[in-house]
Structure 1
């Protein structure tokens, strides 16, 4: 009985990215896949992104050490779930944003958010 209770209490912590969660960001998405998707969606056309070879854009803010930021677009708390929503539909969170809606599906956005959240 005690084992079942311990497992039930530990699961939500791991699922939310707590201390027992994998360091690859898999609680939200696949960070390794996210790096490939960032290149595929050509985020570097607007952003400079260390670790993404083609990402040298200057129209949007640089995304270096993104995981250390407090806010997305200076307005939305920088949490992985909100970052995924931002990537998928930026104008839904900040209607006045200049970031375009690139048609990123939910899972791709979660993977991209996982990679960005790991950047320190």
Structure 2
């Protein structure tokens, strides 16, 4: 019974580690320049400000790969930081439900 418990403990530890790593990701759509600079490799103050400015002008990033569109950020930087970043939960824009047409009254004879 001893080895079985050890495997369970190992599996649980790996699960918790994965959850902790996912929770530590930086949301590139909401993080300020300081957070971006401190949390991402090869992103200094100028690049962090460029990310925030790009986001303000063009809206949120849809994918992590879109970060490469920012001047000064290349695909190598995106790949190096891929596991550290997220764009947050993707939700569809809320639209009003379609309105049902009210049927016209039927004239009585």
Length-normalised TM-score, structure 1: 0.36
Q: Which has the higher helix share?
A: 2
Greater RCO (Cα-Cα under 8 Å, separation 6 or more): 1
